């Protein structure tokens, strides 16, 4: 009689390509062309600047809420770069990077955050809840981990359609505790669904460190429990993420199976603008990860060493991004809010008469009591 120990002797090793100085450790990675590498770097910087500025905009009281992705730029961009436009993305809420990669503009980001009339979400959701069919990126919902079984269902549909595509879903270390995670992995294995489960293990679920979240060796070991092949990757290494996601995609599609990737990283920012993480973790820990382990700087060193980037390009990029972003924000902030009709549309495919009556009642009320309503309620 022998009980299996609760953990194995050694932790699962972590796949890494670049060291902290941006030097390749070995030749065990997918080569990335200059075009792709520079585009990846540009997007990582865009994400970084976008987060920094929008965070400030929230602190200034101009938008109600924001959540940054600082520290996780490599996961966001490199994973998107390894996929095709046909692969369907089911995000949690800390993954605007794939949207940027696929062509969602800073203006569209700003429109959503300011919920103006050009928001393609029609002002229905809080900031950072982006979604775009055009970019094959399913609308962010605040519910934690619900997107994981959704991705499995979509992967099953993709398989039935016999498409050369997969679905990918992102979630955090905290999200892996939800029942949905377990049901989804279990099911995906049974259904043989072509889905990539990408866990951003960034060490924190708001104030809950991973030591209070689970007692297993991270999230990667849970894959085998469900019959899902898995890998642990250095989440701050863009090339490692790129290689792992590309390999996972091939396995998922060609072998019709799910794959779990645990990307180890650190949530440098607060959970959101409603959080002050210095209250539950040491400031010097945050600063160390922000500076010494910055995935953007690390990748920059690699592309510079290849002769694909330099200081001048850097300052040009950062300046032009800042300008573009500030302009987008200014435009977005001054646009009108969505019309009243958008309260009542899209509840059903065809609005029922009861909703049309309510809409008319609201419009009449606003018209008859104009002094009771602000000017930006337009019928």
Q: Which of 7, 23, 34, 179 binds another protein (CB under 8 A)?
A: 179
We find the least distance from the C-beta atom of residue 350 to another protein, in angstroms, to be 8
Q: Report which of 351, 337, 330 is spatially closest to residue 379, judged by C-alpha positions.
A: 337
Strand partners of residue 196: 168, 259
- Is residue 150 involved in binding another protein (CB under 8 A)? yes
Number of residues that bind another protein (CB under 8 A): 47
- Is residue 131 involved in binding another protein (CB under 8 A)? yes
Stretch that binds another protein, among 95-103, 177-185, 206-214, 249-257 (CB under 8 A): 177-185
- Is residue 352 involved in binding another protein (CB under 8 A)? yes
- 211 versus 354: smaller Cβ distance to another protein: 354
- Is residue 133 involved in binding another protein (CB under 8 A)? yes
Q: Which of 42, 52, 107, 139 binds another protein (CB under 8 A)?
A: 139
- 47 versus 151: smaller Cβ distance to another protein: 151
- 119 versus 237: smaller Cβ distance to another protein: 119
Stretch that binds another protein, among 24-32, 180-188, 196-204, 258-266 (CB under 8 A): 180-188
What SS3 state is found at 338? coil
What SS3 state is found at 24? strand
Stretch that binds another protein, among 43-51, 128-136, 203-211, 291-299 (CB under 8 A): 128-136
What SS3 state is found at 174? coil
- The residues in 107-126 that bind another protein, with binding defined as CB under 8 A, are 119-122, 124-125
Positions annotated as catalytic residues are 56, 142, 271-272
We find the least distance from the C-beta atom of residue 348 to another protein, in angstroms, to be 5
Stretch that binds another protein, among 154-162, 228-236, 261-269, 300-308 (CB under 8 A): 154-162
- Is residue 349 involved in binding another protein (CB under 8 A)? yes
We find the least distance from the C-beta atom of residue 25 to another protein, in angstroms, to be 38
- Is residue 100 involved in binding another protein (CB under 8 A)? no
Q: What DSSP string runs through 143-154?
A: SSSTHHHHHHHH
- Is residue 183 involved in binding another protein (CB under 8 A)? yes
Interface map 60-89 toward another protein (x if CB under 8 A): ----------------------------x-
Q: Which of 152, 196, 205, 245 binds another protein (CB under 8 A)?
A: 152
We find the least distance from the C-beta atom of residue 352 to another protein, in angstroms, to be 5
What SS3 state is found at 22? coil
State the DSSP H helix or E strand holding residue 90, giving kind and residue range, or none if neither: strand 88-90
We find the least distance from the C-beta atom of residue 124 to another protein, in angstroms, to be 5
Sheet containing 195-201, strands listed edge to edge, beginning at the edge strand earlier in sequence: 88-90, 167-172, 195-201, 259-264, 229-234
Pairing of strands 195-201, 204-205: unpaired
Burial level of 347, CB count in 10 A (0-12/13-18/19+)? exposed
Alpha-carbon span 173 to 290, nearest angstrom: 19
Neighbouring residues of 209: CB distance < 8 A, sequence distance ≥ 6: 203, 281
Half-sphere exposure of 376 (CA within 13 A, CB side): 9
Return the beta strands (E) in 249-309 as ranges: 259-264
- Is residue 151 involved in binding another protein (CB under 8 A)? yes
Tokens of 240: 């490692």
List own/partner pairs for 247-252 with CB under 8 A and 24 or more apart: 247/30, 248/196, 249/82, 249/83, 249/87, 249/166, 249/168, 249/196, 252/155, 252/166, 252/194, 252/195, 252/196
- Is residue 213 involved in binding another protein (CB under 8 A)? no
Whether 219 and 1 have beta carbons less than 8 Å apart is answered as no
Neighbouring residues of 167: CB distance < 8 A, sequence distance ≥ 6: 87, 88, 89, 90, 151, 152, 154, 155, 158, 193, 194, 195, 196
Stretch that binds another protein, among 79-87, 187-195, 295-303, 369-377 (CB under 8 A): 187-195
- Is residue 162 involved in binding another protein (CB under 8 A)? no
Footprint of another protein (CB under 8 A): 88, 90, 119-122, 124-125, 129, 131-133, 138-139, 141, 143, 146, 148-158, 160, 167, 179-180, 182-184, 186-187, 190-191, 342, 345-349, 352, 354
């Amino acid at each position: 009689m022998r009980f299996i120990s609760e953990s194995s002797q050694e932790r699962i090793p972590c796949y890494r390509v670049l060291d902290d100085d941006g030097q390749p450790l070995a030749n065990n990675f997918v080569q990335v062309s200059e075009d792709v590498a520079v585009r990846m770097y540009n997007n990582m910087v865009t994400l970084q600047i976008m987060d920094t500025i929008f965070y400030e905009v929230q602190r200034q009281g101009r938008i109600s809420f924001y959540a940054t992705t600082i520290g996780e730029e490599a996961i966001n961009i490199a994973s998107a770069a390894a996929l095709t436009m046909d692969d369907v993305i089911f995000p949690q809420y800390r993954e605007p990077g794939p949207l940027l990669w696929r062509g969602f503009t800073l203006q569209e980001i700003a429109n959503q955050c300011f919920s103006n009339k050009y928001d393609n979400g029609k002002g229905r959701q809080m900031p950072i809840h982006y979604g775009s069919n055009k970019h094959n990126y399913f609308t962010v919902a605040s519910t934690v981990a619900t997107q994981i079984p959704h991705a499995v269902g979509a992967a099953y549909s993709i398989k039935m359609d016999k498409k050369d595509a997969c679905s990918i879903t992102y979630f955090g270390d905290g999200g892996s505790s939800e029942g949905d995670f377990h049901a989804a992995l279990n099911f995906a294995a049974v259904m043989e669904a072509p889905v990539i489960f990408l866990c951003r293990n960034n060490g924190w679920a708001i104030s809950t460190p991973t030591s209070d979240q689970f007692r297993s060796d991270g999230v990667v070991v849970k894959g085998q429990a469900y019959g899902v092949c898995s890998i642990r990757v250095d989440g701050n290494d863009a090339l490692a993420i790129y290689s792992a996601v590309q390999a996972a995609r091939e396995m998922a599609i060609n072998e019709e199976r799910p794959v779990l990737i645990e990307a180890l990283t650190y949530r440098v920012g607060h959970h959101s603008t409603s959080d002050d993480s210095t209250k539950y973790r040491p400031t010097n820990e945050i600063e160390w990860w922000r500076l010494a382990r910055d995935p953007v700087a690390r990748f920059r060193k690699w592309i510079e060493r290849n002769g694909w980037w330099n200081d001048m390009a850097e300052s040009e990029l950062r300046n032009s991004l800042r300008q573009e972003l500030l302009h987008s924000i200014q435009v977005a902030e001054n646009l009108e809010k969505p019309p009243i009709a958008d309260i009542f549309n899209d509840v059903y495919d065809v609005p029922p008469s009861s909703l049309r009556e309510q809409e008319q009642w609201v419009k009449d009320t606003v018209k008859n009591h104009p002094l009771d309503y602000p000017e930006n309620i337009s019928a």
